[in-house]
Every structure is written in C-alpha cells, then in structure tokens.
Amino acid sequence: MSSSSAWSNPGLLNGGIQISVQAADDPDGLQRDWAAWLGTLDLLHWSQSFIEENPEEGLQLRCTLRPDAQQQLMPDHDTLCLHRALDQHDSGLLHAALEREICVALLGSPHLFKFANLTALQSHVRVRRNMVLAARKTALAFNTEAAERPEADWHYEEATGFILNPGRPLIPALIAATQPEATGKLYDFSCYRATEYVILLGIAQELAQHHPALLADLQQLNERYAIRSGQFHDVFLIEYGSMAAPLPHRFYVPGDRLWFRNPDERSSNVEGYEGSWVIYMGGGLFSNFWQRDRPFTLESKAIEIFHWRHGAIHDKQGKLRMDESVVEQHVAQTEQDPQARSQVLARMIRMRDPQGVYAEGGCIDSTREYPRSVTSEHCQLVLPAL
C-alpha cells in the first residue's frame, strides 16, 4: 500500500473512497485489512491509499486508483468501457467480476464516497451487485395506466399502494413481481416503480445475510405500507452530483439509478415518456425492463429517446400517446445511417436543461443515486414510523 508521500496526482484526492478510522481502530491494521480485501479482487496493484487527518472528521483512510491505472482503466472517469479494460468475461466468477468492476469505479470516481468502516464499504458493494443481478433478470410489461402484481403475494389499497399479503416473505415476493421465471408472467410496471423494486430487492438480499433484524422491520412495513416515489428516494437513496457540479457524462457505477431526460417538450407530455429511469448494470449496459435481452448502451438509449418525438401522436380521442412502432422504425433508420446517427448523438449526449426548460440540453442527467448503508453497526437506512 502506498503512503501519502507516494501520491503524484493530488487532484485524485477529491474523489475515490474514504473510510473512517474509528478511535478504537488500528490504522495500520485497517490498511492491512483493506489491502487483503483488494487482494481478493486482484486490485491491489492498481490502487493507492494513505491515512490523513481531517480536522472535522478525524483520521481517514483515503483510497483511489493510481494515476497510471486511472488513465489505463477509466480515462476522464469513463466507466462504460471499464469491463474491457479489466479484461473481464462472463464465467463462473460472475459475482467476483461484478464486485471488481464496482470497486474500480468507486476508486476512480470524481465523487468521494464516504464509508464508516471497511464493513460498510463491502456491504455497499454487495448491495450494488445484488441490484445489478436483479436488474439483469427483470422483465416487465410497460403500462403507464395500469399496474399489477402477483396476487399470491401482493394486494393493492388506494391509500397504501401495493402491500404484502400477510405471511408472504418480501424477497420471494419482489422476485415474483419482477422476474418472470418465478411465475411465468410479466406484470405491469412503470420504469420508476420497477427501479424501486430492483433497489428494494438488492437491499433486502443484503439484509437477509448481514442485518436480519432490519429485514424483519422492512417486512412488517411492507405488509402495511408501500414506500414509493419521493419518499422512496428520501428513505433509501443518496443522490450525488448536481446541476452546478455535474458528474461526467460517461461515469456510472454498476448499481447506480439514473434518469435520462426526454429533451423534446411535446413528446415529454406523453405519460411515461418524460424521461427514462434505469439501473446501470455494468459492462457499458443500462437496464431495459421491457426487453431485457436488449439492454441499452448509452448511445442506443439516447437514440431511442430522441425518436420519441416522432412517435408522439394523437389517438381518436385526441389524447397524446406514444406509437412505439414508429419509434422503432426511426431508430432502425438512424442506426443504419452513420451521419444521421452522429447528428442525433451530438444532440443528445450532452447535459440536460434545468427542469421546465427545453432548449439546447440533451438527455444526460447531472446526478446518480445509490442506496444508503444498511450495516447493523452504521446503518443510514431509517424506516418511517407508521
């Protein structure tokens, strides 16, 4: 492990990973534990760390990629080709490869990810891994005007949303609602609600192994009330990046939830097409819950959203709706025309305009979201009292 004197790029100190050194901790022991964990991921030779003292936060272990590794693996914080730079291929070590990609993205991040201890970081990586694996398996029926869940597990109440039937365990119920292998059926979801189920499943799977008491509380809550929409964001997630300090447009950590905005004002008035909520699944791919065998790249997602403007039509009742067949035709034409494709991407792969503004902005949001820490010792997830 490197000491503070080995740092040759002070700018990297603004990002990466920070682990608090508690009063009872042995700093040298923490560095050894950190090195041992990185060794299991074969990342020790690409990383550097040092202990620093912060006047407000005390001793901290700061960790990042070495400058040469940053340039080799994720230049300009570009994580979309990270899997190729790591030379990772699908194998029996799927979990380890995914955790490795997550950890490298965190180490090379322009945003500083802070953790109470090494255990909290390891839990964070597992939750992201769980979310990615769940997102890859999720397949749903897209319907902005209807919603349904497996009747054996869920029932709907106007005041509370979809809640668990008594005695139906949360994890199998979430799997049944989102993974058709469990029931043989696709259920109606919006993309926003679908991301909530994927996130909740990833968290619950971590709690089952490492914080069962909180899982029991989460189970009881979901039997009475569904946390959703803005409250879900506030309870379960941390947002990073901002309009004032946007994240790089090609920086994504596997397990991030993010929004692609529809920059066309007219078609954004079609319900469900204001934008698109997705999970970054690593490997340069974003979730496509409606056609899971065709996940999006950054480019294919941008092209699809661009052509929503062509699919927005008025039906016989005069209501604006989306004709997906028209969108697909335009997407296919653009993908076959290099010049048109380049023009569309130049228009779309740029930071979005502020809320309510439709000018020169593209589809890229300035922020991402990730789950709060759920370790028993340093838990940031506080469930609402009902």
Instruction: Report the candidate in 91, 82, 73, 65 with the shortest Cα–Cα distance to residue 13.
Output: 65
Write out the two tokens for 50.
């040092």
Choose the weakest-confidence range: 159-168, 204-213, 329-338. 159-168
Mean pLDDT (whole number) for 78-106: 85
Hey, where are the domains in the chain? 4-108, 136-241, 257-366
Instruction: Please state, as a whole number, how many other Cβ atoms lie within 10 Å of the Cβ of residue 366.
Output: 19
| pLDDT tens profile 218-232 | 999 999 999 999 999
Instruction: Report the range out of 29-33, 53-57, 69-73, 155-159 with the highest average pLDDT.
Output: 69-73
- Going by pLDDT thresholds of 50, 70 and 90, the confidence category of residue 57 is confident
Distance CA 356, CA 374 (A): 35
Q: Per mean pLDDT, which range of 11-15, 30-34, 105-109, 310-314 is the poorest? A: 11-15
Could you give the C-alpha distances from 37 to 40, 44, 276, in angstroms and in order?
5, 9, 36
**pLDDT on residue 94:** 79
Percent of the chain with pLDDT strictly greater than 70:
94
pLDDT of 279: 98
Range of 7-21, 198-212, 311-325 with top mean pLDDT:
198-212
Average pLDDT over residues 27-48: 93
Would you say residue 34 has pLDDT above 70?
A: yes
Of 52-66, 86-100, 147-161, 301-315, the range with the lowest mean pLDDT is 86-100
Lowest mean pLDDT segment, chosen from 8-22, 129-143, 218-232: 8-22
Phi, psi of 26 (to 5 degrees): -95, 110
pTM of the model: 0.94
**Tens digits of per-residue pLDDT, 163-206?**
999 999 999 999 999 999 999 999 998 889 999 999 999 999 99
User: Residue 155 above 90 pLDDT?
Assistant: yes
- The vertex-100 CA angle with 98 and 104, nearest 5°, equals 120
pLDDT at 5 over 90: no
Q: What is the DSSP string of 277-306?
A: EEEB-STT-B--TTSTTSPBPHHHHHHHHH
pLDDT confidence bin for 273, thresholds 50/70/90: very high
